Amino acid sequence: MSKITIAIDGYSSCGKSTLAKALAAKLGYAYVDSGAMYRSVTLYALRHGIIKDHGFLEDEIIKCLNDINLAFQFNPNTKSSETFLNSENVEKELRQMIVSENVSKVSAIKAVRTKMILIQRELGKNKGIVMDGRDIGTNVFPDAELKLFMTADPDIRTQRRYDELLSKGQHTAFLEVKKNLLERDYEDTHRKENPLTQAQDAIVLDNSELSREQQLEYVLKLITDLTLSVN
Ligand code: DC
């Protein structure tokens, strides 16, 4: 059956990438984590001293865009797509708190978004893709056949991100993780360029009380009901 585009948007840490990866694996689709692109620009700027003390000059960030090359590669061991920044696998570094603390401001810069959206559209031009982010259904792929808008209780989201950081050996206080999530939600929904909003034709998925399996089952059923392709 013909391939479709699946756009998943929503608040920070509500399991977008978990669902997107599972859907991509089940359907044999590509998975693209658009947040990883904004995180990569932020990591580059941090490493090159362009972001200092949580501040930066917009022009400096825009200038460094030409020096940033992004690529994605599927890792069969982790069964997941990994991000390469100028040929270096940065998957682990992208989740550091220092990146999370600066990424919303970097992603609010128009020129940054323009470059990332070009890459995202190129990656999705042949369909057969699951992409998650904040503006995928509203802006990157407004014609996506399936759009999901994900949300979950803030404490549950915090616990998930806290556990994820811990599993990567990064110890951060629960309240600090929660503060970062809420601040990013605020910045992502209030910025001028492509803010996070629910697309009119998106299906809302609150997964506060759902297990990963239940969530996947629910969405696969949605796809079947839409008489779309399930391998
Ligand atoms: O999905 P994430 O938490 O890794 O995303 C990191 C940040 O990147 C998020 O706070 C906002 C920004 N972002 C964005 O502006 N647009 C997207 N499509 C994806 C992420």
Which residue minimizes the CA distance to atom 9 of ligand 1?
104
Task: Please state, for a pLDDT cut of 70, what percent of the chain lies above it.
Answer: 97
Measured from the Cα of 107, ligand 1's closest atom is: 15
| CB 145, CB 130: distance < 8 Å | no
The helix/strand/coil state of 66 is: helix
Domain of 134 in residue numbering reads as 5-230
Is residue 12 lining ligand 1, measured as CB closer than 6 Å? Answer: yes
How confident is the model over 30-56, as pLDDT tens digits?
999 999 999 999 999 999 999 998 899
Is residue 34 lining ligand 1, measured as CB closer than 6 Å? Answer: yes
Q: How many Å lie between the centroid of ligand 1 and the Cα of residue 227?
A: 30
Which residue minimizes the CA distance to atom 15 of ligand 1?
107
Residues in the chain: 231
Best probe residue, ligand 1, of 83, 134, 186, 191 (max atoms within 8 Å of C-beta): 134
How confident is the model over 49-64, as pLDDT tens digits?
999 988 999 999 999 9
Which residue minimizes the CA distance to atom 6 of ligand 1?
35
Beta pairing partners, 80: 75
Measured from the Cα of 100, ligand 1's closest atom is: 6
Give the mean pLDDT of 138-149: 97
Spatial separation of the C-alpha atoms in residues 153 and 64, rounded to whole Å = 37
How many domains, in total, are found in the chain?
1
pTM of the model: 0.94
pLDDT band per the 50, 70, 90 thresholds, residue 228: low
Question: Domain of 203: which CATH number?
Answer: 3.40.50.300
Best probe residue, ligand 1, of 17, 103, 106 (max atoms within 8 Å of C-beta): 103
List of residues 6+ apart from 91 with CB closer than 8 A? 36, 82, 83
Specify the pLDDT at position 81: 84
Least confident of 20-24, 75-79, 135-139, 149-153: 75-79
Q: How many Å lie between the centroid of ligand 1 and the Cα of residue 34?
A: 7
Distances in Å between the Cα of 145 and the Cα atoms of 3, 8, 105 are 10, 11, 30
C-alpha torsion angle, residues 45, 51, 52, 57 (rounded to 10): 140
Which residue minimizes the CA distance to atom 10 of ligand 1?
104
Measured from the Cα of 188, ligand 1's closest atom is: 11
Specify the pLDDT at position 221: 94
| CB 225, CB 28: distance < 8 Å | no
Least confident of 115-119, 167-171, 199-203: 167-171
